[in-house]
Chains A and B, each alone.
Chain A
């Protein structure tokens, strides 16, 4: 059976773009929340 972990079908660029697509907004949101959370320690 063919194995999906071979990189012939999905390129590294596609994988990186897919993760950046969801990662950038998530990191931005976490950063905004951390800024807010810091008020607990002020």
Chain B
């Protein structure tokens, strides 16, 4: 039973005639809001001058301290998705989306108060902890619902939603700048008002998504779709219980593959502007570098839809083989592009890498569905997101620290990234091996009718709630 009756799974079962294409916009309502996290850095500079207004004073917050807001939010994202994944799966998407909206909008309101009283700990609590829970719940909430509505195209369906997460920064970044410009006066920087407005806008937007979403009735299938009678080698028709998935080598192989893919992408994505200028000094200006970052974000978003949709045709395992092989070749090519001064080649290499970075996120829910079935795919996805949290540490560390080490040891700035590129390429070999090791899950992990989780579900069903699947 949900904490509000209208959030119950039983209230979200689609009636006959409901069009399944209503569900992707519902998912996008959530992901287009929570993806704002990628654009949080636009607040860092204004928040470092809240007291001094024109320049930072000693009592103002430091940029290094402000950087923790985003880091805490991403860390909490991974762990809240892992902890609450089963609750999200069993409670239904509307309850999860509604809760995500409360947390996400509430995080903004609390942060606005933190800015008002100039207490950074309140901002950590608001945006980092409570907003981070909204991020985690919101990120996984529509995944299994989309997979159930689109059993014929699960990659495309989840790719669409996760594309929204990648695209959200495009909206949030200019919107935040515009709002701050409206609320800023010569004696005041309008961060707190911007937080309040954004919290209200995101709440409305996410609530619309929560009320649009529906789950299919038990036994529903798309018109003309015939489910495979016998499971193919790498696509199961059985389900694996969420915590049993952790006992399978397949889960950990996919975890490694995702971690490698994200580590390789996230490090260079954060450093794209500086890296492009340092590798081509005098030829790529700061303005052009900003354009490169924008283009990279666009390819990151498009890759989410492209690769996830492609995986419906070539298979998930082959899609990740593409990422690993192409990634290896492209990362090995980048130093050559730098030494030969080939800017076009450099830009093309990284744009393809960014499509694969986004594609890795977007294709993984369908990979999990293939391995572990649809019943607990959202919860298992939640557990897997911890790979993202880890990669968020590995990636920037690899890029930034190795660059600094090289510079400290007399390597010219233009060549300081070469070692990192070869290390990234090496990581793809590990990812390739992990992906190659993925076989069908052993049948002993499949849920049987006497599984404890199913017994509990039968009791719930008898009380009027439909089964989770």
Interface residues of A (CB under 8 A from B): 1-10, 14-15, 18-19, 21-22, 25-26, 28-30, 32-34, 36-42
Contact = CB atoms under 8 A, between A and B. Distances in A.
25 contacts: A1-B220, A2-B217, A3-B16, A4-B18, A4-B19, A5-B222, A6-B16, A14-B22, A15-B19, A18-B25, A18-B26, A22-B25, A26-B28, A26-B167, A29-B171, A29-B172, A30-B298, A32-B170, A33-B297, A39-B290, A39-B291, A39-B294, A40-B288, A40-B292, A40-B295
How would you classify the secondary structure of chain B's contact residues: helix, strand, loop or mixed?
helix
Nearest to B299: A37
How would you classify the secondary structure of chain A's contact residues: helix, strand, loop or mixed?
helix
Contact of A1 (B19, B221, B294): B221
Contacts of A22: 25, 28-29, 32, 164
B336 interface: no
Contacts of A37: 291-292, 294-295, 298
A36 B290 contact: yes
Nearest to A36: B294
Contacts of B223: 3, 5
Interface of B: 14-22, 25-26, 28-29, 32, 149, 164, 167-174, 208, 212, 216-217, 219-223, 287-292, 294-295, 297-298, 301, 347
B273 to A, nearest CB: 11
B207 to A, nearest CB: 12
B291 A10 contact: no
Contacts of A36: 290-291, 294
Nearest to A14: B22
B16 A2 contact: yes
Contacts of A25: 32, 171
A9 B301 CA distance: 32
